[in-house]
Structure 1
Amino acid sequence: MDSPAAAGHEPERRLRRAVLWVAGLNLAYFFVEFAVAIAIGSVSLFADSVDFLEDTAINLLIFAALGWTLHRRALAGKAMALIILLPALAAAWQAFAKVASPEPPDPLSLVLTAGGAAVINLVCSLILARFRHHGGSLSAAAFLSARNDVLVNLAIIAMALLTAWFGSGWPDIVLGLIIVILNVGAAKEVWETAEEERLAARALAGEEID
């Protein structure tokens, strides 16, 4: 029979295993999506590929930070909020660069690649769903990012159909800007959760909270 201490550490061990699986899946598909995005010149796919790299970093940091104090985890949560903004910056840069020449990306490549991404992100979100309320801002960051990614992937598929219908690159640019908005919203939620943890750490330390 496991000791009470061992049983207490079991949820943490399960979360560690989960985030390593999620990090590996995200890193593997980053290379796939990034290569396709560059090949077909897609703003939204490029932003989504950077998002896979961001998710890899988030989950590896969760793996490292689980043993940290509440205060340090709050700081890490705020770092994660800033990391979530990276795909937004990438999408904004790509969208700006493509405005002058909005060539449409290949719709079939968009559908196939985004479909694969949706499967990967759905699997990751299901893995992380049961931990979203048990790891503070860090696990919240990972779950929110994976959840938003599924929505983005479905939007890319819909955008591909519009691209095929209109033969224009503008749907791809517009979706890139929507990705910016989604990531800003997720970053805000994670930042607020991390701030709550920071205040909780101060309260535990006996500090006055304004």
Structure 2
Amino acid sequence: MGADNAGRQEAPVRQDADPAAVRALRRTALVVVALNLAYFFVEVGVALAIRSVSLFADSVDFLEDTAVNLLIFIALGWSLRARARAGKAMAGIIVLPALAAVVMAVLKFADPERPDPLSLVVTAGGAIVVNSICAWLLARHRHNVGSMSRAAFLAARNDVYANAAIIALGVVTIFWASGWPDIVLGMFLVLLNFTAAKEVWEVAEEEDLAAKALAGEAIDDD
């Protein structure tokens, strides 16, 4: 563990973000908020109509991304330590879609009905366009403001992967009249979100260590 911390300190996060980079990220975050919130209503409506676990999990993902980017917009003016705490909070936010997918999957175990393949493909196709735009907008900011920008980029990137998987699921369900592929994909989304949460938490920990170093506090290497 001590070696791991030492490795992290060899490549510390930036202590002071460039004001121009902060302003640019704030503008980008607001655009991403608008895109995600709008498509959330589209996708959640379709997911509930066709009883799709994976599509429901992905719709909650849009809501999660809205919350993450709103938090980014608010917290960018805070101190390094406060940003680290916000990064940890965002790691918690990222797991919410995973928990939602688990709940819906459990409820569907008793009746694994196949969701409509065409609705899956069309809706996920729209989602992948929205998330690709968001990931592209956020990509240039992901190393500028520590866990703040990294959290937003990771969320958008993982959504693109999830949307591609849902499109593949739609094709599979054309030939396989079962709801189990939809349930399995929902569990895949759980894994993606927990992985993103772990990465964001680790970056926030780095910022916390940097804040302690600036304050002259002792750093626990355990």
User: What's the counterpart of residue 96 of structure 1?
Assistant: 106
Partners of 2:65 and 2:35 in 1: how far apart? 10
The alpha carbon displacement at 1:120 in A equals 0.2
Partners of 1:154 and 1:9 in 2: how far apart? 36
**In the alignment, is residue 69 of structure 1 matched against residue 96 of structure 2?**
no
User: What's the counterpart of residue 187 of structure 1?
Assistant: 197
**In the alignment, is residue 39 of structure 1 matched against residue 43 of structure 2?**
no
AA aligned to 1:55 is D
Partners of 2:145 and 2:178 in 1: how far apart? 43
AA aligned to 1:202 is K
Partners of 2:31 and 2:179 in 1: how far apart? 35
Partners of 1:199 and 1:12 in 2: how far apart? 21
User: Could you report, residue by residue, the CA deviation over 1:110-163 in whole angstroms, capped at 9, with x for unpaired residues?
Assistant: 000000000000000000000000011111111001000000000000011111
Equivalenced residues, count: 203
Which runs of no fewer than 5 residues in structure 2 stay unpaired? 1-17
AA aligned to 1:100 is A
The alpha carbon displacement at 1:9 in A equals 2.2
Partners of 2:195 and 2:22 in 1: how far apart? 28
**In the alignment, is residue 139 of structure 1 matched against residue 149 of structure 2?**
yes
AA aligned to 2:57 is A
AA aligned to 2:122 is L
The alpha carbon displacement at 1:45 in A equals 0.3
User: What's the counterpart of residue 178 of structure 1?
Assistant: 188
Partners of 2:143 and 2:19 in 1: how far apart? 16
Normalised to the residue count of structure 2, the TM-score between the two structures is 0.91
Partners of 1:205 and 1:127 in 2: how far apart? 34
CA RMSD of aligned residues (A): 0.6
User: What's the counterpart of residue 124 of structure 2?
Assistant: 114
AA aligned to 1:129 is A
Partners of 2:134 and 2:207 in 1: how far apart? 25
Q: 1:29 aligns with which of 23, 28, 39?
A: 39
AA aligned to 1:52 is F
Which runs of no fewer than 5 residues in structure 1 stay unpaired? 1-7
The alpha carbon displacement at 1:50 in A equals 0.3
Matches within 5 A, 1:192-203: 192-203=202-213
Partners of 1:43 and 1:181 in 2: how far apart? 14
User: What's the counterpart of residue 50 of structure 1?
Assistant: 60
